[in-house]
Amino acid sequence: MIRSWPRVLSALAMSFVLLECKQAAPLRPQFAYVANFYSNLLSAYSIGSNGALTPVPGSPFGEDAAVGPVSVTVDPTAKFAYVANFASNNISAFSIGSNGVLTPVPGSPFAGGQTPCSVAVEPTAKFAYVANRFGSNVSAYSIGSNGALTPIPGSPFAAGYDPYSVAVDPTAKFFYVANFNSNTVSAYGIGSNGALTPVSGSPFATGVGPVSVAVNVTAKFAYVVNFSSKNVSAYSIASNGALTPVSGSPFAAGLGPVSVAMGSRATFAYVANRGSNDVSAYSISSNGALTPVPGSPFPAGLGPLSVAVDPMAKFAYVANIDSNDISAYSIASNGALTPVPGSPFAARVKPASVAITRLLHLK
């Protein structure tokens, strides 16, 4: 029995070495991407340890056939970025290099619907969805291993009137669309092939002029920003994807709220208010209700149109379409926002959307 101890100790030592190697594995840098509507270009930035933005080599990026980029998203693997081009009715797809450089994938841009205005990728990175404002529908695509998009059977799928924003829940089971001119949010189940099927009771009533929808990381709650009624509708999500307003909903926002985002913490939500040039910050209670955090709202640039939170929930970024820049904030433990050094950071003409990559371990 005593003679076996050296082997045990040797095995333990090897385990610690392997653990240390695993823990020491380098992280892929984080990047921010901004769709600039009037310049038809994507600005790309590396994110510093303090949240500051530095343009990546070759930035900005674009495609001649892509006009009016209005929405950008990054797939959960941080391999690809997708852009809805409002004026050219197509979707750009880029591969993301290790240094953040964007390269068009084969076949890009891909045909979209009529005036695509919002794009989202579901958590398994198998499917992408695009809201087509003037088509009143949603285009659905399967994502190839190289990032290329192929329409799935049945696409496009009917939505409400003037669908403005799309979101997928973190479990990849449900899909939601904010319909601006019908004052509703459509809810769908996602099939194994990516097809969309309306859930029971859909569409669900919202406030006036819903323009943005997001689901929190626990997949328990959905939030819809209502531009014209200046508030946020909050819903609990049932096991079948149906929405039920939480107690106290809707919750007051600033003037002209246009975008809502949450990070990996299930505790805070942020809303960009275009009309009042600020960001409302809320703590999320256990029942999904929203309470303003101390100091909210926080000043932004002119015409804040899009807000994003980095996956580690350390920083928040806001695209200011009228001042042509990006406001960057550090997020305090109580959810309050403080501008990072150097903020705001210059963008191109009319930045309309901002997206952040995930931090992944390099292999």
- pLDDT given at position 105: 97
Q: What's the predicted TM-score (pTM) here? A: 0.90
Give the model confidence (pLDDT) of 262-277 as tens digits. Answer: 977 779 999 999 999 9
**Reported CATH class of domain 2-356:** mainly beta
Low-confidence ranges of the chain (pLDDT < 50): 1-22, 361
3-state secondary structure of 19: helix
64 contact partners, CB below 8 Å, separation of at least 6: none
- pLDDT given at position 218: 86
- Please report the beta strands in 160-226, taking only residues with DSSP state E, as ranges in sequence order: 163-168, 174-179, 184-190, 196-198, 204-205, 210-215, 221-226
Strands 278-284 and 268-273: antiparallel
User: Tokens in use for 19?
Assistant: 């653990």
Angstrom distance (rounded) from CA 193 to CA 172: 12
3-state secondary structure of 2: helix
Question: Do residues 234 and 290 touch, judged by C-beta distance below 8 A?
Answer: yes
Angstrom distance (rounded) from CA 349 to CA 58: 17
Mean pLDDT value across the chain: 91
Domain ranges (residues) in the chain: 2-356
Instruction: Residue 115: name the closest of 142, 135, 141 by CA.
Output: 135
